[in-house]
Structure 1
C-alpha cells in the first residue's frame, strides 16, 4: 500500500510540474480513451492537450480533486456518482462521448447453450459494474434477479439479489483490469469494453453476449471540476469529442466495439 501511494504521489507531482496555464491535462485509460484524445490532438492542434495515460496505481478522480489534472475521461456516470460519495467530492460532466458495451467472454465455451453446470463467472468487483454484470447475465437468461431488480441505474444488484440460478453459476468478483487474465482460470468473465480491447479482444466479434447500445446508461464521459466547467479549454475539448469527425473515427477504429453517442 505504501509503495502504491508513493508511486501515485510521484506521478501526480510529475503531472503537476509538467503543466502550464495553457496546457489542458486529461487523465485517460489507454484504450480507447487516450486513442480518441490523441485523435482530437490531430484535428484540433490549437488545443494544447496533454494526455496522461492511467495505470492501476492511479485514481483519476483523486487526481482531478487534487488539481493534478484538469479533467479525466475513462468512466460512466453511475461509477462517477459512486466515486463522488466515496471521495466526498463533486464533479461536472463536460461531454458524453461513447459507449463500451459490457461483454461476456470465454476461452472454454463457444456458446451460451453449452454453459456447464457450476461454471465460474468472473465479474467486476466495483459496485456499479458488478450490478451491470448481473443485469447482463439476467438479460441473457443465465440468472434471474429478485423482483424489483429491473432498473440497472436505480436498483443496483449484488449476488445476494440472485433469485434463480438454474446453472448454479459461481460469481467470482475480481478487479476490472484483471478480468481478461481471469479468462484462463474461469469458464466465463464479464469484461468492460476498454479492458477487453486492451487485451486484444474484439467485443463485437469475441463476446458471447453484449449489452445493448440503445438506451444504455453507461456512456463514457469527460469529467472536470465545477471550478473548471466553464473553462474555454474544457468547452473546446467537449465540442471536439462531440464532433462528427470523432464519431466517424470511433466507428471506423473500433467497428462496433466502441459506439459513439453522437452518430
Structure 2
C-alpha cells in the first residue's frame, strides 16, 4: 500500500512537469502575429519598413549648370536662383570669357544649357559645327542700335560716313536690315530666308556709306574711330554705355529673342522645365523691365 501511494505521487509530479514544459515551448515557438511575438518587437519596428525609411529621407537637390553671357543673361539667372532653390534645383551660373565657347561647352557636356544667343545665330553655328541642340524657351530681346560718339541723330550721318557692323553672319545681316529699315541702304531680295548678308549684298547706298566688319565684342572700343557702330545691347551694357543714347534701335518685334539651348533630348528634363518656367514668370518680367528699361525687352 505504501509503495502504491508513492508511485501515484511520482506520476502526478511527472505530469505536472510535462505540462509546464509544454507551455514554455509553445510560447517560444509562437508565430510573429501572436501576442507573444508582438510583445518582443518594438513599436517602431512594427510600423516602419525599410521602404518607408528610405522614402522619409530628404531628397538631394539637383544641380543645373547653365552657361551665360555676363549681361544681362547671368544677372537674370542669378535673380532666379532662389526661385529654383525653392523647387529643389541648385542653379550654377557659368560665365566664360569667350561667349563663342558656350556652344562647344554644351556639346562637350561641361554645362547642361546655355543662354546667350538667338535662333539665327544658333542656326548658323549648328550647320557649321553639326550640333544637335534644341531650343526650350525664348526669354528676352536685346534691341541692337546705332551708337556714336560723333553724331547726335540719324540726320547727322554724312555722305561717306563709316559704320562699324558685327562680322558674324547672323548679326551682320541683322545690322544691315536695321540700316535698311531706317532708309539708309537697300538689300537685294531673298536674304530673309538665310539670315545672312554682307555689304556686298547692298544694291542701293544713297549716302555711300562705308562699312567696317568688326568682331562683335570689340565694337564699343572702335566707336572713337568710326562715325557710328551697330552694337548688341548686352555689349553696350557691359561697356557702360547708356542704351538710351542709341540714334535708333530695333523695336520689340525683333525676331532675335535670346533663348535657352540644351542638347537634344534634355528638353524634357525636370530641371530644364523648371528653369524655363521661372524665366518666363511675372517676377522675371518685372525684374527685366525695372533693371534694364529699353535695353532689354521681355520676349514673353
TM-score, normalising length: structure 1: 0.87
Higher helix share: 2
Distance 1:220 1:251 in 2: 15
Residue 111 of structure 2 is matched in structure 1 by 69
Partner of residue 120 from structure 1, selected from 162, 170, 183: 162
**1:93-115, Cα deviation, whole Å (9 max, x unpaired):** 11110000011110011111111
1:111 aligns with 2:153: yes
Residue 7 of structure 1 is matched in structure 2 by none
Partner of residue 81 from structure 2, selected from 41, 44, 56: 41
Distance 1:197 1:48 in 2: 27
Cα-Cα RMSD: 1.6
Partner of residue 209 from structure 1, selected from 224, 248, 260: 248
Q: Decide whether the 8 Å contact of 2:84 with 2:274 is kept in 1.
A: no
Which runs of 5 or more residues in structure 2 are unaligned? Answer: 1-59
Larger Rg computed on CA atoms: 2
Q: How does 1:212-251 map to 2 (within 5 A)?
A: 212-214=251-253, 216-251=254-289
Higher relative contact order (CA 8 A, sep 6+): 1
Report how far residue 76 of structure 1 moved. Answer: 0.2
Which runs of 5 or more residues in structure 1 are unaligned? Answer: 1-19
**1:109-131, Cα deviation, whole Å (9 max, x unpaired):** 11111112211111100000000
Question: How many residues are paired up?
Answer: 239
Moved over 3 A (4+): none
1:173 aligns with 2:227: no
Distance 1:83 1:148 in 2: 21
